[in-house]
Amino acid sequence: MSEHGFDVPPKAPPEVIGRRDALAEAARLALVRAGIPAHRAELGEGPAGRPGADVQVDPLADGGVLVEWNTREELATEAVNLLESGVDPSNLPHTIRHYESVQTCMRDALSSILASAGFQVERADEHTFGSAVRVTGFTP
């Protein structure tokens, strides 16, 4: 528990983070080789949220390697602005439907490309990680 009374999830030990980091870099390189723009914003490879695949290491004990697609800022901002203004969930505006479709298509594409390259992948918990792909291993 932290000094403020909140449970803080345990972090993974350094050797686990090291393995995850190597797996994340291998996944990033596999995407780049396939022609997909991929970066690791957590390592300073450009700002977080830049378009393309963002490959990250989640440092929590039950974390792992996550790959998430980022659209250009204009599309994401327009969708968020519409959601914040209040929309009828049964009749979403085209921009929101398009944004969700792009996220779903790219999640599936990233998952398929990584699997083809020899990575074990699964959908990450949508509640926690949205449309991210979780990379759990690699078998060449």
4 within some domain = no
For residue 3, tell me if it sits in a domain: no
In a domain, residue 9? The reply is: no
Q: Which pTM does this prediction carry?
A: 0.84
Residue 25: which H helix or E strand, with range? helix 14-33
Q: What is the pLDDT of residues 48-103, one digit of tens each?
A: 678 999 999 998 888 889 999 999 888 888 888 888 888 888 888 898 899 999 99
Range of the structural domain that residue 81 is part of = 14-138
Residue appearing with tokens 């686990």: 16
Q: What is the mean pLDDT of the chain?
A: 88
Q: Is residue 8 part of a domain?
A: no
Please choose, from the candidates 66, 55, 56, 62, the residue with its C-alpha nearest in 3D space to the C-alpha of residue 13: 62
User: What per-residue confidence (pLDDT) applies to 39?
Assistant: 93
Quote the pLDDT of residue 124: 86
Q: pLDDT > 90: what percent of the chain?
A: 53
pLDDT of residue 44 exceeding 90, the answer is no
Residue 6 lies in a domain: no
Distances (CA, A) of 113 to 22, 37, 52: 18, 13, 14
Domain count of the fold of the chain: 1
* Residue 1: pLDDT band with limits 50, 70, 90: very low
Q: Given the structure tokens 């599936």, which residue do they identify?
A: 108
